[in-house]
Amino acid sequence: MVVSSSSISPTSHGVFSNTLCRPAPANINLLRSLFFPSSTSLSLSSIRKNKASQCRKRWTCSGPINASLKATSLESSAETIEVPKGDMWSVHKFGGTCVGSSDRIKNVAEIIVNDNSERKLVVVSAMSKVTDMMYDLIQRAESRDDSFLSALDAVLEKHTATAKDLLEGDELLSFLSRLHDDINNLKAMLRAIYIAGHATESFTEFVVGHGELWSAQMLSSVIRKKGFDCSWMDTRDVLIVNPTSSNQVDPDFPESERRLDKWLSNNPSGIIIATGFIASTPQNIPTTLKRDGSDFSAAIMGALFRARQVTIWTDVDGVFSADPRKVSEAVILRTLSYQEAWEMSYFGANVLHPRTIIPVMRYDIPIVIRNVFNLTAPGTKICRLSPDENGDGEHMQSPVKGFATIDNLALINVEGTGMAGVPGTASAIFGAVKDVGANVIMISQANWTCSSYCILQASSEHSVCFAVPEKEVDAVAEALRTRFRQALSAGRLSQVAVVPNCSILATVGQKMASTPGVSATLFNALAKANINIRAIAQGCSEHNITVVVKRDDCIRALRAVHSRFYLSRTTIAMGIIGPGLIGGTLLDQLRDQAAVLKEKFNIDLRVMGITGSKNMLLSDLGLDLSKWRELQSKQGQAADLQKFVQHVHGNQLIPNTVLVDCTADSFIASHYYDWLRKGIHIITPNKKANSGPLDQYLKLRALQRQSYTHYFYEATVGAGLPIISTLRGLLETGDKILSIEGIFSGTLSYIFNKFVGKRSFSEVVTEAKQAGYTEPDPRDDLSGTDVARKVIILARECGLNLELSDIPPESLVPEPLRATASPEEFMQKLPQFDQGWAKKLQAAEAAGEVLRYVGVVDVVNQRGLVKLQSYKKDHPFAQLSGSDNIISFTTERYKEQPLIVRGPGAGAEVTAGGVFSDILRLASYLGAPS
């Protein structure tokens, strides 16, 4: 390949130094080998001569070399102008999205000219996706992929089309001329890289920085077109940085200030458009501030200018309290302290690059995050806050400002008793980690800090646990096993264990250090959401508390803690099983009360699915309960209990799930244990689980007590009456239960309240059936089995290990009718037995008593009874009306006068109301205000 001297523009950045295109000595051999093959007859002196003249002709205000030449000529011919720094300057930074098209560049220009600051410095990124395109050019050239030429043509076309839409006349011609020169230079450089099959870091960073040059030039031309004095700055002429060993750069502020003063004296414009992302080394070699470096550029320039404020323009309204893609209730934060923004950035929040904060902190320059597409939004201000300030002149209600997460991590645990008291163990561990180049995100054993680590606290003296990116974990684990092979063989170390599929959840707030109970609240919220914590950390400054959780639990954990601290709505995903009489009534009650619960109590109950025995209705966001019956008939699908549960529980945006079983089905009840184990709360009026086989009941209750998953079943005994909660209150406060006696069946209460005087038993049963008080088959009520189940439930609550078979109920179904084929036949034959019932009623009335069907829990004698019994007319059980239930608690405290609970004990409304009450109790347990 023969390259003419006119095809490559030498620059002051990278391959040539500043003085009239003189080659940097260190790069002469590289230049010759890459650009000028042995067949080339050009001498170095001819290159200098030709290029110096072309620089003056063609780079009047375009590229890097021009800034040097222009400065040289101005220094020799013009008087130095002092340009002041300080509060008269405001700094704006616009990212690639903000300048991603000609319309957006015009919008940016309007924002700039409408800013009433006396002087303005504007830092711009490359147009959207251009930096990625430039990196792609390098990769294609290194891979000897000829398509780099067409890819470069796409870059040219993108900027040509944008310029033609923005500019006209001489401004357009001048920009296009410079653009084509740059493209030709890049083409020659990429061709050389193609031949060599390798690009040095300097060449790479020189290539990828061109996008900023072009966007800055176009924007400055648009502003000049509006009639404003505007210059553009190639920050490689001003910003000097020193590369570090950690793929970062450190600004050289003294040298950068010196160069800035020189640049300003030669360019005293009121508006300066500066390139972001790019800079130079002290040897004038072009470099970058690495990925996401444009924000860093703006902060550095803000510090150099001592600016009043740095505004970072982006495409969101500000900094959210949590990632809004994961937490729909996340809110915009009006203010953040420097430390809070730093912590949230470190832990993955889309705020700023963590290093952006450092330059402005020195001069207390605030950073404001604003939305370029929504100028009415005030944004988020990052500044130095007093300890009790929230930015609105009010005291903060919560010590926590926000939450951030890092995914795709793995924990490594190095453990062994031989570590205790042995100096240098931690050093050896992290030395091995450093040797493989891994990035340690957190450590849970030591209490020290450095620039590369976020260090966590722990009490163990014989283990070190730390998190690294999952892609690096295998190399780290192998390095540690190699380094400690002898200690592992000797047993001084027991293991180097890897825990994959982890995520970090960081809780950030300035006031956490001075507010007691923050950690307890955080861990309580996670526990109630059934989140298992793998590791915990809290630094001495207490600006953050960090926990490691399973990756699959991360979003649920984030939602749970955000809801708890941020007073957002307590959101619960609900699945309703059995939309029959009770379930349907419950859904109607939820429909009528949903708006009030959201507005007054911050409770958001979302029914994600309804299933019956034949079909089910599912929703991703929550069903419209005003038309759930219509939706079920039109959009219902075949019922599948497993699919139903997976759908309701699988919504990662909602941390809490509850299944409400409104059936009387033992098959549904048999799933309670597995659901609780998965972290699903259960609420039910179904008595089958708590009155079923004793071993299964004990297993279920043991699981409930061991976890923070809730199982509420108030409606299993007294419909809407507080029977279970009253009993628990007595037991938990230390009272001793002697006996519980009551009328537990609303159906049988109604029957015996009406069975008086001359009325026949069959007549009253028929009336109860017609009124809807009985089951479709009245024998289900008259058998006493339902009452026996309630007695078993209460007996087990009292600690009695009784089976249902231990309490044979006195059946009210005549023996000959128990095997009757149908309910209709039973009702037809029931009058045949009215005479026997009449005798029982007469005997009771003759004694001044009434008949009542009761259940008894005899705790003293550890037994239960279900029977028909007579009571004096002045007894509380004789005072009932309708379908009321009544339960009497005789205890050590209430021995002389038992504690009575009385009220409606049957009917869909009261039973559904009891279930609804349990739902609200669950919401309270999960963090809703009481």
Q: Catalytic residue positions?
A: 790
Phi, psi of 158 (to 5 degrees): -60, -45
Q: Could you give the angle at the alpha carbon of 749 between the alpha carbons of 744 and 750, nearest 5°?
A: 145
Residue 503 CA to residue 548 CA, distance in Å, equals: 6
Q: CA dist 323 to 73, 332, 494, 518, 658, Å?
A: 52, 10, 39, 21, 25
Q: CA dist 430 to 460, 463, 480, Å?
A: 17, 13, 9
Cβ distance 502 to 547 under 8 Å? Answer: no
Torsion of CA 726, 731, 734, 739, to 10 degrees: 90
Q: Give me 142's structure tokens.
A: 């290194």
Q: Which residues pair with 405 in a beta bridge?
A: 505
* Cβ neighbours of 754 (radius 10 Å): 18
Picking from 125, 106, 124, the residue whose alpha carbon sits closest to that of residue 114 is 106
Q: In 3-state terms, what secondary structure has residue 738?
A: strand
Picking from 786, 778, 785, the residue whose alpha carbon sits closest to that of residue 824 is 778
Between strands 402-415 and 495-508, the pairing is antiparallel
Q: Is 275 exposed, middle or buried (0-12, 13-18, 19+ CB in 10 A)?
A: buried
Q: In 3-state terms, what secondary structure has residue 2?
A: coil
CA 773 to chain centre: 48
Task: Compute the 3-state secondary structure of the chain and give helix, strand, coil in percent, each to the nearest 5.
Answer: 45, 20, 35
Q: Which residues pair with 722 in a beta bridge?
A: none
Q: Could you give the angle at the alpha carbon of 175 between the alpha carbons of 174 and 178, nearest 5°?
A: 90
Strand order in the sheet with 884-891: 863-872, 849-858, 737-743, 884-891, 899-904
Q: Give me 6's structure tokens.
A: 């006119």
Residue 257 CA to residue 237 CA, distance in Å, equals: 11
Residue 670 CA to residue 730 CA, distance in Å, equals: 29
Cβ distance 884 to 878 under 8 Å? Answer: no
The set of residues, in sequence order, having a beta carbon less than 8 Å from that of 668 and lying 6+ positions away, is 577, 578, 641, 661, 686, 688
Q: Is 424 exposed, middle or buried (0-12, 13-18, 19+ CB in 10 A)?
A: exposed
Picking from 916, 923, 924, the residue whose alpha carbon sits closest to that of residue 587 is 916
Q: In 3-state terms, what secondary structure has residue 773?
A: coil
Q: CA dist 906 to 41, 58, 555, 582, 746, Å?
A: 105, 94, 41, 11, 5
DSSP state, 542? Answer: -
Question: For the packed helices 64-77 and 253-266, what is the interaxial angle rounded to 10 degrees?
Answer: 60
Q: Which helix (H) or strand (E) holds 465?
A: strand 463-469
Q: Is 94 exposed, middle or buried (0-12, 13-18, 19+ CB in 10 A)?
A: buried
Q: Give me 200's structure tokens.
A: 């040095």
Q: CA dist 700 to 578, 656, 682, 693, 882, Å?
A: 22, 20, 12, 11, 36
Q: In 3-state terms, what secondary structure has residue 369?
A: strand
